[in-house]
Structure 1
Amino acid sequence: MEIRKLSKKDALFYCTRDEDHFFDRKAYGIKGDKVQKIAVAFANADGGEFVVGIADEKEEHEAFKRWKPVESIEKFNPIIQALNEIEPIIEYRCAFLRQDNISGYVLLITIEKGRQVHETAQKKVIVRQGAQSLELKGNLRISELAYAKGQRSYEDELTPDASIDELESSTYLAEFISHLPSDNIEPLDLLIKQNLVDKNWTPRVASMLLFAENPSAILTKQCAIKIARYDTTDEDPERDDLTNDIFSIEKPIYHQINDAYNIMVKLFEKNQVWTLDGLKIISYPKETIWELLVNAVLHRDYSISDNIFIGIFNDRVEIKSPGRLPGFVKVTNILDNRFSRNSKLVRLLSRYPNAPNKDLGEGVNTAFQKMKAIRKKEPEIIEDGNFLKVTIRHELNYPPDEVIMKFLDKFGEINNKQVRDLTGIRNASTISSIFSRMREKGILQKNDSTSSSNVTWSKAAIRV
């Protein structure tokens, strides 16, 4: 039995923390079936934690007043009994939180991700989706969950060559702990409780990916992010198209994500393209780039010794990550289903301030929606051999004729290069054919030019 003393600041964290895919809070008096629903949902998803003894913000607007402890630990026995009635049995830990100078306890329950499909005493299968615990209905959906549960993640493998002493003294681990709601967390305690080391103190792969200075060097597997810029729009670039903008990011994954995003933004500034607002630096919705980058890092297959590769082209971004889609997720259902290949990475990364995966479960949908909102083509996702490839194109999602007319409404004339930038059609002859067809329909006219390379088109003059 663990009794944990909290400062007022630490207690406030639990009173104000947003409920999400990994956290829930309930006032004391919650019924056993509700306890089982939350616990089963976490076990069937990626694990999580919930507190009992803190009122909801709807019941109590003042944060400090939400802390409503119970006078004795024994009062929580019915809750613990309810947890023990879940089938198959779940792996959980209880800690009794006590605030300085305030009597009574709040119960913190941590649920590990289960390796089987769990159900409540009422035989209901519940899964966590965002901040909700939802019943999973239908034999097919439950079978898919069972299949996914049978897949073991490489993040749980042991790394015998890794030093527990170096891990314990890692500055990245210290940084992570500094963001947690307690001033008294020992590194080894955290590693044990988060199942990042085994009983013999051997670190797991997840601990290296999260806290080692250079994970690739310790894991003897390539797990960095490589970024390169190509001065071309070709689908199969030549060696000569590769610029000197080549980067390799060898850091823990939290820092990999942030560094990679910042580099990508800087590389975008080196390329200008024609848009409906004129010649502009190429840009993509921040949420689209961010969410698809985070998705690549969190859900790649780390058992494959290869790096994530990001290609920055004149008209698109390609993100290629090792491993096909996990579990029952397919290219055709990726917007409707989610499965975490690396649940420890997902769960622990969410504990950072400004967590990269704060929109967990909605990230890919957000990436698509943001492109659609600005009338750009949605990202393309394909399984390419043993890799997943995502392509984000700088293309308007309008018919070419409509794009041309919109541009002419603003600028009066248009050329072949401008249409290629706007539509993503790479073949200059194809654009010329579109111009000719629109001329035959009396929509466009070809302007006088001294050379074929300077040809422009404008709206056809209205004949009276």
Structure 2
Amino acid sequence: MQLDETMLLSMDPAERQALLVSTPEDQWFERKSARVTADVFAKSIIGMANAEGGLVVVGLSDGVVEELSAHARHINELRRVAQTHCAPPPRVRFAELPVDDGKVVLLADVSPGRTVHESTSGHCYLRVGDSTMKLSAAQREELLYDRGAAEYEARPTPGITVGSLDAGLVDGLRQAIGAQGNDERVLAARSLLDLHGEVTIAAFLLLAPRPQELMPYAHVRVLRYLSAHAGTGGRQSLADDGDRRIEGPIPHVIEQAAALVEEWMPRRRALREDGKFGPVDVVPRDAWLEGLVNAVVHRSYSMAGDHIRVHLYPDRVEIESPGRFPGIVDPERPLEIARYARNPRIARVCNDLGITQEKGEGIVRIFDEMRMRGLADPIYRQTSGSVRLTLLSTPRLDAETEARLPGGAHGVLEVLRAAGRPLGTGEIAAGIGRRRPATIRALKALQEVGEVVWEGKSAKDPRATWRLPTGD
């Protein structure tokens, strides 16, 4: 259960204390002693403001409620931390909550920022799971680079009022977070209203009956192919009735798109977990579902005119979503990508509704699911305006072979599989977005382990091509 100020206010002091003491720290909740320094408290505030916001409770140490009255002057200093130790000051709302034995704790409710916040000493922090990490200069640059898209979901939606939203969805959110009061209180509890009480784009995408009336690009398109290659014109392999668009509020889009993908997922006969032979998805459900949810929750909604596409081939699943990885991260090393929610409000509500876990393990989980099935590692490729995730049904290379492959090698295999024909070195280099020398290194490494075959009349044959081994 996620803690929420409105939920805490509705409890009696003893129940409130029990919950504050027992709830594990996570992405949105942290405990601090009344003796916490202003610098350390500022670090927590900044980390949450740069992520999805959250609650910091002051006055709890090792499960014991401290006496705040003994630290009155220091508590007043903590109340001013946002202005005295942060630049620019994040939005923080303070409240003193009575707990058992007549004591009180200080609650800081931090809203997700619309810009990058740092300490007055120049340090930048980000809340990741149950800890707050200090960002390097490069990581801060990543955060700054992508903050414009994060700010987009916080903008008001012109002409939309709280009454325009789906009452059932709002009630579902109210129950999920244990909030009380009118709809405005529920939305405010998740920063879904702006400073002027206007409905934000995040609220509209999550809770409106049909957001596509104003944002037609906010949908998921699922396409099913009969061949491993899409083809063009008369050779197109798109199945009859194999192109569907899923529309509606985000929770419904995820649910309905997942149901359609599950229905259309290619299957093969294999030994199942129950020890019997039967139909098995070519790509494990938990892997593609995590990829789909990540695409919907973290896509760039500011990129009007583009939408999420899920391509189902007999041998793979491809999920492409608008928006690049934040900043300068390397898609060739996806497991090293620091957790960052482009849409913090959307991400948090989806967690409230049980759609996501938001523990920073999305990419890791996809890798784990594929490896547990003995399948090739997921491949992430970044274009000028999107990220594409490819989940292959081919067996995973052994660890020793993987260690011998340079960067770009998996991209080479993906390009050759997608093309369905032999390609020249230049074509492959263009496909993976790398220079020719780096592409040649990757090709030769793959040739050494038997993953690609070179065909040409001589070492300098300009018409020489590379192909996958027969039967791949």
> Which of the five TM-score ranges fits, normalised by the shorter chain?
0.7 to 0.9
Q: In structure 2, what is the equivalent of residue 376 of structure 1?
A: 375
Larger Rg: 1
Amino acid at match of 2:344: S
Give the 3 Å change call, closer, same or farther, for CA 384–82 of structure 1 in structure 2. closer
SS at match of 2:145: helix
- For the 8 Å contact 2:115–2:151, the answer to whether it is kept is no
Instruction: Point out where structure 2 has 5 or more consecutive residues left out of the alignment.
Output: 402-416, 423-449, 451-472
1:130 positional shift: 1.7
Give the 3 Å change call, closer, same or farther, for CA 163–36 of structure 1 in structure 2. closer
1:362-421 CA-to-partner distances (Å, cap 9, x unmatched) read: 21122123323332111222234533221111110248xx9xxxxxxxxxxxxxxxxxxx
1:118 positional shift: 3.2
1:207 positional shift: 0.7
| Aligned length, in residue pairs | 394
Give the 3 Å change call, closer, same or farther, for CA 236–330 of structure 1 in structure 2. farther
1:308 positional shift: 1.6
Q: In structure 1, what is the equivalent of residue 231 of structure 2?
A: 236
Q: In structure 2, what is the equivalent of residue 114 of structure 1?
A: 113
Structure 2 CA distance, aligned partners of 1:349 and 1:275? Answer: 35
- For the 8 Å contact 1:48–1:347, the answer to whether it is kept is no
- For the 8 Å contact 1:372–1:378, the answer to whether it is kept is yes
Amino acid at match of 1:185: G
Structure 1 CA distance, aligned partners of 2:379 and 2:216? Answer: 28
Tell me, yes or no, if structure 1 residue 6 matches structure 2 residue 11.
Answer: yes
Structure 2 CA distance, aligned partners of 1:282 and 1:359? Answer: 26
Amino acid at match of 2:46: V
RMSD of the alignment, in Å? 3.8
Q: In structure 1, what is the equivalent of residue 310 of structure 2?
A: 310
1:214 positional shift: 1.4
Q: In structure 1, what is the equivalent of residue 455 of structure 2?
A: none
Structure 2 CA distance, aligned partners of 1:122 and 1:163? Answer: 41
Amino acid at match of 2:106: L
Structure 1 CA distance, aligned partners of 2:105 and 2:334? Answer: 39
Amino acid at match of 2:222: I
- For the 8 Å contact 1:92–1:111, the answer to whether it is kept is yes
1:11 positional shift: 5.5
Q: In structure 2, what is the equivalent of residue 178 of structure 1?
A: 175
Instruction: Point out where structure 1 has 5 or more consecutive residues left out of the alignment.
Output: 61-65, 403-423, 430-436, 438-464
1:170-192 CA-to-partner distances (Å, cap 9, x unmatched) read: 2101110111144x232112334
Q: In structure 1, what is the equivalent of residue 259 of structure 2?
A: 262
Q: In structure 2, what is the equivalent of residue 443 of structure 1?
A: none
Question: Following superposition of structure 1 onto structure 2, how do residues 110-189 of structure 1 map, counting pairs within 5 Å?
Answer: 110-120=109-119, 123-137=122-136, 139-149=137-147, 153-167=151-165, 170-182=167-179, 184-189=180-185
Structure 1 CA distance, aligned partners of 2:384 and 2:421? Answer: 31
2:26 pairs with one of 20, 39, 53: 20
1:52 positional shift: 2.1
1:257 positional shift: 2.2
Identity %: 24
- For the 8 Å contact 2:55–2:108, the answer to whether it is kept is yes
1:211 positional shift: 0.9
Structure 2 CA distance, aligned partners of 1:67 and 1:262? Answer: 47
SS at match of 1:175: helix
Amino acid at match of 2:228: T
Amino acid at match of 1:321: S
Q: In structure 1, what is the equivalent of residue 44 of structure 2?
A: 38
Amino acid at match of 1:341: R
Tell me, yes or no, if structure 1 residue 86 matches structure 2 residue 85.
Answer: yes
Give the 3 Å change call, closer, same or farther, for CA 11–221 of structure 1 in structure 2. farther
Structure 2 CA distance, aligned partners of 1:266 and 1:69? Answer: 58
Amino acid at match of 1:257: I
Give the 3 Å change call, closer, same or farther, for CA 425–81 of structure 1 in structure 2. closer
Q: In structure 1, what is the equivalent of residue 207 of structure 2?
A: 211
1:94-139 CA-to-partner distances (Å, cap 9, x unmatched) read: 133335x7633222212223344433355433222221112224x4
Amino acid at match of 1:342: N
1:18-48 CA-to-partner distances (Å, cap 9, x unmatched) read: 3222221234433333212211211233322
1:310 positional shift: 1.4
Amino acid at match of 1:46: E
SS at match of 1:197: coil
SS at match of 1:350: helix
1:261-292 CA-to-partner distances (Å, cap 9, x unmatched) read: 23323333x63256799664224334322321
So what's the TM-score if we normalise by structure 1?
A: 0.72
Structure 2 CA distance, aligned partners of 1:189 and 1:391? Answer: 41
SS at match of 2:24: coil
- For the 8 Å contact 1:230–1:243, the answer to whether it is kept is no
Give the 3 Å change call, closer, same or farther, for CA 208–272 of structure 1 in structure 2. same
Q: In structure 2, what is the equivalent of residue 271 of structure 1?
A: 267
SS at match of 2:139: helix
SS at match of 2:102: coil
- For the 8 Å contact 1:232–1:313, the answer to whether it is kept is yes
Amino acid at match of 2:138: L
